Amino acid sequence: MPAGTEGQPPVTSPERRRSIRSHQAILAATTQLLAEVGYTALTIEGVATRAGVGKATVYRWWPSKGALVIEAMRSALDMIPVPETGDLRRDLLAIGNGIVQTLAHTPAGAVIPALAADLMRDPEMAEQFRNQVIRPRTSAITQVLRRAADRGELPSDLDIGLLLDVYAGAVFYRVLVSGEPVTDLLAEQLVDLLLDGKAPVKPSAVAEA
């Protein structure tokens, strides 16, 4: 029976298998080096050496260091599971805490501030970052908000895009601009502000309450 016909798996050539292994090795090497040396010091030469391939092999798939790092980040970052509790506050807190953990406690999250300058200069790379890293994760929050609107917990004509900008924008502002700590308390304060209009208080006041 010819390869690829129904009932049989497609035949993968040795060359194709080597290509897949090289691709995976490059992404793994990039992730390792990001943790060891950071985005600024990472080089294509270093990645190629760590992965055991030539530079030309890396450039065959990625036109720049930034493009390679974005795909490595997409592969390394765990997708935040979409909660199914039926409780809007609990669901948003779960997602918010997941975002905080990613940005504050993983090598991939630590890359974002250094990567931001390159994203500003390269619109194509910025769109890759949005498509591969940002949009798949904001879609989790979108699903939660839509389900809440279906249950009547939120207005049916809710501007989900603007709410996402407020929710995620505060986190990214701290990561990219202010340098203020990104903590679980921040996620809780944002949920309180968005759902109840509750003015956030300083952490010291929360501890004393």
Q: Comparing C-alpha atoms, which of 109, 86, 95 is closest to residue 190?
A: 95
Write out the two tokens for 23: 């691709």
Domains delineated in the chain: 14-74 (1.10.10.60), 77-208 (1.10.357.10)
Would you state the pLDDT for residue 7? 52
29-70 pLDDT tens trace: 999 999 899 899 999 999 999 999 999 999 999 999 999 999
Tell me the per-residue pLDDT of 192-206, one tens digit each, with 9 for 90 and over.
Answer: 888 887 777 776 655
Stated as kind and residue range, the H or E segment containing 207 is helix 203-208
**What mean pLDDT is predicted for residues 107-135?**
86
For the entire predicted model, the pTM comes to: 0.71
Q: What is the mean pLDDT of the chain?
A: 82
Structure confidence at residue 46 (pLDDT):
97
Helix, strand or coil, per DSSP, at residue 80: coil
Question: What does the pLDDT look like over 161-186, one tens digit per residue?
Answer: 888 888 788 888 888 788 888 888 88
Taken in order 147, 136, 171, 126, is the CA torsion positive or negative? negative
DSSP assigned state of 200:
P
What is the percent of the chain with per-residue pLDDT over 70, rounded to a whole number? 89
User: Among 6-20, 83-97, 113-127, 182-196, whose mean pLDDT is lowest?
Assistant: 6-20
pLDDT at 52: 96
